[in-house]
Chains A and B, each alone.
Chain A
């Protein structure tokens, strides 16, 4: 790859995170909110990208982890008085358990059927939680941690998730598992014959994605202070993640960052238009798929060879 012209590419990412991380020092409350949303979407979309863009696991059921973890946080803080960040962590671990249970059924499926399987699990959880007295049926729960965390604390929790998810994806892709995943993406049969452990690599990514998506969702619900099954387990979450990753560029590490930024910006602009905003997001997503199916970063990489974090080692 043409590495020379982009000698300072690491700086770009460093500056981005320094700017983001110091928002509480210089930014307004609105900037802080913007940064918080950006971090949350960055972490979750990075995980969807790991599943779809690199592992070939087309998940349409990320909302299963989002809702499950959110409810775990709500129940632990409300009913048991568990410390808020500990319960967020436990929420992530519960997501992993859920992912393990789901994998018993859905890892026999491929492609779109895997997607439908994950979606059906999310729908089952939605029905279960809206019929469950313990979590007050469909009316939802308020999340009232005993010492309420400040906005800045929540922001830094989200910041850690964003940074952490980026680091995890980078490390996975640069590891032996990542090499195997990319070989598998190119040709599944051949990679298996040369010894790539497809099942274990895929399962590993699925569990990692469940953990980070779940933990991030925990932070999200600590911020939102209210959880309700019809919102928490809604397919809308996946729609948002799809949009972010497609716009940014599927199968690139920088794509979800760019996509999240554009998504948060667009939703802030279009906030006054209600449902029209979803309509416009849908139109943009289709146009991008037709004109530049690799998204912004994917097209940029193809045209100029520009990458910040390359999974390639040479």
Chain B
């Protein structure tokens, strides 16, 4: 039992990171029913952007967020405004395929610019731990991931509840025609929403960059994690994001604990399939 505590604690903390990875995609799914297949790649793009700002301005990874987040907002705004809005409609496939094309373009552009080498965002937090009793340690970086993840979820929740733009986004999502009659430019609103989703992806990208190594081709791996979180937690639910993230991370870490590190991802996927089979709408989803 004693040696189980460490993977359980790490799982909870990692769950916070997984939640913020999924948050942007989940938000966009909730608003425009769009599954952004390029989400993982856009997140990795922000990791690389952070790398550039760190090298250029000599910033600490956390401060680089102040530069990366606005850039990603603009990127998201442009992608939604100029690409995805034009193919939104009754059918599901066109926006999906545009996002898929975007993902290919992003991966290969990153490969051209940054070479296939593994990168990471250096920080002195990564080796620090706080001892909690005899055999249990709190990894500081994971703890920061968790706290920032929760903070972003809370901030997004307040944004949707309290601000005009947040209410406008929710109105456009609930009833597009009604919102237009009230004088809301819904297409513009979707572009803002994507920009905000990309800001959460920027946070996720920087955190992932500090916690793990990344390559130009790691995007799809995080896309699958984001899907896992969305599906386990329930579509469009923010609390579900956190719960889904924790369940997925626990499945992976406990699975790795019992069966060996080679099977870490496999255990996560198996739990995901079980949830999909038993409760396709997710734990917090409405049937």
Is chain B a partner of chain A in the same complex? yes
Count of B interface residues, CB-CB < 8 Å: 36
Q: Mark B60-103, 1 if CB is under 8 A from A, else 0.
A: 00000000000000000000000100110000111011101111
The CA-CA distance from A267 to B46 in the complex, in Å, is 30
Contacting pair A105 B276 (CB below 8 A):
yes
A258 at interface by CB-CB < 8 Å: no
**Interface hit among A14-22, A63-71, A192-200, A285-293:** A285-293
Contacting pair B108 A276 (CB below 8 A):
yes
Task: Select A131's contact among B86, B227, B262, beta carbons within 8 Å.
Answer: B262
Contacting pair A105 B277 (CB below 8 A):
yes
- What is the minimal beta-carbon distance from A134 to any residue of chain B, in angstroms? 15
Task: Select B100's contact among A105, A109, A127, A239, beta carbons within 8 Å.
Answer: A239
With a cutoff of 8 Å between Cβ atoms, the chain A residues found around residue B224 in the complex are: 116, 119-120, 123
With a cutoff of 8 Å between Cβ atoms, the chain B residues found around residue A235 in the complex are: 220
Whether A275 contacts B263 in the complex (CB less than 8 A), given A109-B276, A290-B87, comes out as: no
Whether A123 contacts B265 in the complex (CB less than 8 A), given A117-B276, A275-B108, A289-B94, comes out as: yes
Residues 89-140 of A contacting B (Cβ, < 8 Å):
104-106, 108-109, 111-113, 115-117, 119-121, 123-124, 127-128, 131
**DSSP class of B's interface residues: helix, strand, loop or mixed?**
helix
- What is the minimal beta-carbon distance from B216 to any residue of chain A, in angstroms? 9
Contacting pair A289 B97 (CB below 8 A):
yes
With a cutoff of 8 Å between Cβ atoms, the chain B residues found around residue A117 in the complex are: 273, 276
A253 at interface by CB-CB < 8 Å: no
With a cutoff of 8 Å between Cβ atoms, the chain B residues found around residue A289 in the complex are: 87, 94, 97-98, 101
The CA-CA distance from A52 to B91 in the complex, in Å, is 12
A282 at interface by CB-CB < 8 Å: yes
The CA-CA distance from A21 to B266 in the complex, in Å, is 44
The CA-CA distance from A239 to B272 in the complex, in Å, is 23
Task: Select A290's contact among B86, B92, B107, B263, beta carbons within 8 Å.
Answer: B86
**DSSP class of A's interface residues: helix, strand, loop or mixed?**
helix
Contacting pair A58 B269 (CB below 8 A):
no
Q: Mark B112-126, 1 if CB is under 8 A from A, else 0.
A: 100000000000000
Whether A105 contacts B266 in the complex (CB less than 8 A), given A112-B92, A275-B111, A285-B101, comes out as: no
A217 at interface by CB-CB < 8 Å: no
With a cutoff of 8 Å between Cβ atoms, the chain A residues found around residue B104 in the complex are: 239, 278-279, 281-282, 285
A242 at interface by CB-CB < 8 Å: yes
B166 at interface by CB-CB < 8 Å: no
B30 at interface by CB-CB < 8 Å: no
Contacting pair B276 A293 (CB below 8 A):
no
The CA-CA distance from A291 to B35 in the complex, in Å, is 21
A84 at interface by CB-CB < 8 Å: no
With a cutoff of 8 Å between Cβ atoms, the chain B residues found around residue A47 in the complex are: none
Contacting pair A283 B263 (CB below 8 A):
no
With a cutoff of 8 Å between Cβ atoms, the chain A residues found around residue B266 in the complex are: 124, 127-128, 131
The CA-CA distance from A283 to B83 in the complex, in Å, is 12
Residues 120-172 of A contacting B (Cβ, < 8 Å):
120-121, 123-124, 127-128, 131
With a cutoff of 8 Å between Cβ atoms, the chain A residues found around residue B276 in the complex are: 105-106, 108-109, 113, 117
With a cutoff of 8 Å between Cβ atoms, the chain A residues found around residue B108 in the complex are: 275-276, 278-279, 282
Contacting pair A290 B83 (CB below 8 A):
yes
Contacting pair B101 A286 (CB below 8 A):
yes
Contacting pair A109 B86 (CB below 8 A):
no
- What is the minimal beta-carbon distance from A119 to any residue of chain B, in angstroms? 7
Residues 232-246 of A contacting B (Cβ, < 8 Å):
235, 239, 242, 246
A250 at interface by CB-CB < 8 Å: yes
Residues 212-238 of B contacting A (Cβ, < 8 Å):
220, 224, 227, 231
Contacting pair A283 B94 (CB below 8 A):
no
Residues 251-294 of A contacting B (Cβ, < 8 Å):
275-276, 278-279, 281-283, 285-286, 289-290, 293
B4 at interface by CB-CB < 8 Å: no
The CA-CA distance from A235 to B276 in the complex, in Å, is 21
With a cutoff of 8 Å between Cβ atoms, the chain B residues found around residue A121 in the complex are: 273
The CA-CA distance from A251 to B9 in the complex, in Å, is 50
Chain A residue with the shortest CB-CB distance to B103: A282
Chain A residue with the shortest CB-CB distance to B273: A105
Whether A112 contacts B96 in the complex (CB less than 8 A), given A127-B266, A275-B108, A282-B102, comes out as: yes
Can you list 7 A-B contacts (CB < 8 A)? Answer: A105-B276, A108-B280, A109-B280, A285-B104, A289-B94, A289-B101, A290-B83
Contact residues of A with B, CB < 8 Å?
52, 58, 104-106, 108-109, 111-113, 115-117, 119-121, 123-124, 127-128, 131, 235, 239, 242, 246, 250, 275-276, 278-279, 281-283, 285-286, 289-290, 293
Known: A285-B97, A289-B87, A293-B87; 17 extra A-B contacts, CB below 8 A, are A58-B96, A104-B277, A105-B277, A116-B224, A116-B227, A121-B273, A128-B266, A131-B262, A239-B100, A275-B111, A275-B112, A276-B108, A278-B104, A279-B108, A282-B103, A282-B105, A286-B101
